[in-house]
Chains A and B, each alone.
Chain A
Amino acid sequence: MATEPITGADIVIRALVDQGVEVIFGYPGGAVLPLYDALFKQNQIRHILVRHEQAAVHAAEGYARSTGKVGVVLVTSGPGATNAVTGLTDALMDSVPVVCLTGQVPTHLIGNDAFQEADTTGITRPVTKHNYLVKSITDLSRVVHEAFHVARSGRPGPVVVDLPKDIQQAKHEYANHANQRHRSYNPQVKPDRALIERAVEMMAQAQRPLFYIGGGVVNSGPAASQMLTELVRLTGFPCTQTLMGLGAFPASDPLSLGMVGMHGMYESNHAMHDCDLMINIGARFDDRVTGRLTAFSPGSKKIHVDIDPSSINKNIHVDLAIVGDVGHVVEDMLRVWKARQAKPNGKALAGWWDQISKWRARECLRYRPSDEVIKPQYALQRLYDAVKGRDFYITTEVGQHQMWAAQFIKFEKPNHWLTSGGLGTMGYGLPAAIGVQIAHPEALVIDVAGEASILMNIQEMSTAAQYRLPVKIFIMNNRWMGMVRQWQELLHGGRYSESYSDALPDFVKLADAFGWTGLRATKPAEMDDIIKTMIETPGPVIVDVAVDEKENCFPMIPSGSAHNEMLLGPEDQRESPISEEGMVLV
């Protein structure tokens, strides 16, 4: 332990190094100059200069979700901190571990409306898992270490540490608090054994069981995914994934039913509705998944495994709640299942799979192909065909393209699919891709984008150029805020209020302006060549794919409807107008 007093800024750097931090994403300003000075004088931590603080947080999220490590952000006071708020909220909603260091005016000026002062802890309190304002240099090293512990343990999330400038300059001894037990915050990770026994009993008796798995499995780490995969295969039960859980179970496994929810698979949603045992592992009965609550899976018993007790019995009442880390819980389930030599109810299960095959036979992702216009589904199918077998990562923006990407790109492993699920943040994909690429320099990282979303953090093209990051942006350019247009078509009589993407830039020229390569596809026949060129071109590439402007995203459970009231295509859409109750839902 060092005894020489060092500056607060140096204490922060020491703590980051002791936490194993290799990269931080940030943007400088007056209130963090001492920290930037400390960064300048060291060479253990790499700083990535973004072009907007929101992007710093999304990049840290991309880094965190593709590595399992904590993402770190450094921004200045006032506007630096307020710009980071969307990213923090995104990380909170999707349970991404992020530590965000914000500069603050010196302690004696706090509350004086000083230049670039904002009440950062006040503003970020509801959008972080926890936050700190460090008012005394003696607390500094403890707080920074604690911030990492809080961000990564339990249900992960963003933590803000607000650092007044005088604290960064004050001197004190550094102490490594990395392994200190917290006095009040110690989330339960090991499940209650008796509950595991009950769960296994229920599973062995089930006639129409279904695994419903979510982002919690991904957050628990690759080992949790592996054990879960083993458990699913051992039981032979079908397994559906949420948007956040894609990749937690191999998509190519015949037991996988694919995505569940509003734009999920027909077979998944019907299985949700008709199952008699739902085994929810690390998902949270989000409204995009449940549809109308009163019609949600009416005949099933429900088991819910979650590390966060407040997720349990929040939207849906469950029959068996197991609090604990997914990894531990699934490990115990496996052990108990094997020890008991449990067997699924073979005859009932075979009947259940028969039923599922009938749903599958509807081929819900079918669309009308075209030789003239590029169907968005076709573009993504070709993209997937070209990247599968490679080490690829997909990030997305928000909209129809996001849902199509979730439907048409298959993930065999966790941590390779990064999308803004809970908050639905347009502008997430490009900075997230940058974060992924920093962590995995050799990998193929593609942001599947919409032409509207990409403009929300387009400035990050400059960041990618600076660090020579070979990220690819695959724009599904339908010239509309497609998802908004789709809802207006379904719910508002086709009055397309402000949803046309007018005055779009020429993305190929834009690529040129930023030092990227720009490509364009306008015909289905060009798709394969363009994708090949995109992949083979070194450095960052933007691909502008002119897709069908009026294509809607199906299948769809209209808001306020039940899982067995899905629309499969434009024909269904005309037949079933959306209910009044559905209209008020988002």
Chain B
Amino acid sequence: MQQQIERHTISVMVDNEAGVLARVIGLFSGRGYNIESLTVAEVDAQRHFSRITIVTSGTPMIIEQIKNQLRRLVPVHRVSDLTIDGPSLERELILVKVNGTGEKRVESLRIADIFRARVVDSTIESFVFEMTGSTEKLNAFINLMQPLGLVEVSRTGVVAIARGSEAI
């Protein structure tokens, strides 16, 4: 059966306990699944819940496997596939360092303005821009900054949430 490769964003609610991230990552590397991005942080201090957001890709059969394998892990409470469970939002945060003087420096500021990126650090010959947005938008910003003196990028990876009133 030939199947298309699809990109999915999967949200995993886990007990925030030692080793839980290693379990999830080990599952992906051990079984040869892709990780395009992975973010994790505690989201409920009282109940010790962490939320892991994973962007992965594979055939529908593999994506189904990934979700079932994740559900099998003992500290996993919930797995939801934000790509197919309904409309959802995805955001990433990025910090971009651009070095330059003269015309290029001015141009970088102008583009940052268009993208609604903020200047969070500056010296006479550098800026650090901060920006949030979808992965595509951040990629576009990086591409434009490349010829203008981009020297360093740090990004968070995707966080995501379903639209509407339902909570997972």
On A, residues with C-beta under 8 Å from B are 121-122, 125-126, 129-131, 133, 135, 150, 182-185, 308-310, 312-314, 317
Give Cα distance in the complex from A185 to B15, angstroms: 11
A446 to chain B, nearest CB (A): 36
B26 touches A312 (CB 8 A): no
Residue contacts A-B, CB under 8 angstroms, 15 given: A126-B26, A130-B74, A131-B19, A133-B19, A150-B74, A182-B74, A184-B14, A184-B75, A184-B76, A310-B69, A310-B71, A310-B72, A312-B68, A313-B64, A317-B61
Q: Does B124 contact A (CB under 8 A)?
A: no
Contacts of B77 in A (CB 8 A): 183-184
Give Cα distance in the complex from A182 to B73, angstroms: 13
Give Cα distance in the complex from A135 to B19, angstroms: 13
Selected from B18, B26, B68, B72, the residue in CB contact (under 8 A) with A133 is: B18
Interface 0/1 of B67-102, CB less than 8 Å to A? 011011111110000000000000000000000000
Give Cα distance in the complex from A317 to B65, angstroms: 12
Interface 0/1 of B41-84, CB less than 8 Å to A? 00000000000000000000100110011011111110000000
Give Cα distance in the complex from A550 to B77, angstroms: 55
B72 touches A125 (CB 8 A): no
Question: Which B residues between 112 and 145 are near A, CB-CB below 8 angstroms?
Answer: none
Q: Does B168 contact A (CB under 8 A)?
A: no
A365 to chain B, nearest CB (A): 35
A125 touches B19 (CB 8 A): yes
B19 to chain A, nearest CB (A): 6
Most buried by A among B68, B72, B75: B72
B76 to chain A, nearest CB (A): 6
Give Cα distance in the complex from A126 to B19, angstroms: 12
Contacts of B19 in A (CB 8 A): 121, 125, 131, 133
Selected from A184, A308, A313, the residue in CB contact (under 8 A) with B74 is: A184
**Whose C-beta in chain B lies nearest to the C-beta of A150?**
B74
9 more contacts with CB within 8 A, not counting A126-B26, A129-B74, A185-B74, are A125-B22, A130-B74, A182-B74, A184-B75, A185-B75, A308-B72, A309-B68, A310-B71, A314-B65
B61 touches A313 (CB 8 A): yes
Number of contact residues on B: which range applies?
20 to 34
Give Cα distance in the complex from A125 to B14, angstroms: 16
Give Cα distance in the complex from A125 to B27, angstroms: 10
A370 to chain B, nearest CB (A): 47
Selected from B15, B22, B64, B69, the residue in CB contact (under 8 A) with A184 is: B15
Selected from A130, A185, A310, the residue in CB contact (under 8 A) with B65 is: A310
Interface 0/1 of B4-38, CB less than 8 Å to A? 00000000001100110011001000100000000
Contacts of A184 in B (CB 8 A): 14-15, 74-77
Give Cα distance in the complex from A131 to B73, angstroms: 11
Give Cα distance in the complex from A314 to B26, angstroms: 18
Q: Does B167 contact A (CB under 8 A)?
A: no
Contacts of B71 in A (CB 8 A): 309-310
Contacts of A310 in B (CB 8 A): 65, 68-69, 71-72
B65 touches A313 (CB 8 A): yes
A93 to chain B, nearest CB (A): 13
Give Cα distance in the complex from A70 to B103, angstroms: 73
Contacts of A126 in B (CB 8 A): 26, 30
Contacts of B69 in A (CB 8 A): 310
Contacts of B30 in A (CB 8 A): 126
A183 and B15 in contact, given A130-B74, A310-B72 (Cβ under 8 angstroms): yes
Contacts of A312 in B (CB 8 A): 68
Give Cα distance in the complex from A308 to B74, angstroms: 13
A301 to chain B, nearest CB (A): 15
Give Cα distance in the complex from A121 to B69, angstroms: 19
**Whose C-beta in chain A lies nearest to the C-beta of B18?**
A133
Contacts of B72 in A (CB 8 A): 308-310
Give Cα distance in the complex from A122 to B15, angstroms: 18
Contacts of B22 in A (CB 8 A): 122, 125
**Whose C-beta in chain B lies nearest to the C-beta of A159?**
B74
Give Cα distance in the complex from A314 to B98, angstroms: 47
A143 to chain B, nearest CB (A): 11
Give Cα distance in the complex from A467 to B2, angstroms: 57
Contacts of B61 in A (CB 8 A): 313, 317
Give Cα distance in the complex from A126 to B69, angstroms: 12
Most buried by B among A129, A135, A308, A310: A310
B76 touches A125 (CB 8 A): no
A334 to chain B, nearest CB (A): 28
**Whose C-beta in chain A lies nearest to the C-beta of B71?**
A309
**Whose C-beta in chain B lies nearest to the C-beta of A122?**
B22
B49 to chain A, nearest CB (A): 10
Give Cα distance in the complex from A133 to B20, angstroms: 12
**Whose C-beta in chain B lies nearest to the C-beta of A184?**
B77
Give Cα distance in the complex from A270 to B73, angstroms: 37
Give Cα distance in the complex from A214 to B68, angstroms: 21
Give Cα distance in the complex from A521 to B46, angstroms: 70
Give Cα distance in the complex from A314 to B73, angstroms: 17
A125 and B26 in contact, given A130-B74, A308-B72 (Cβ under 8 angstroms): yes
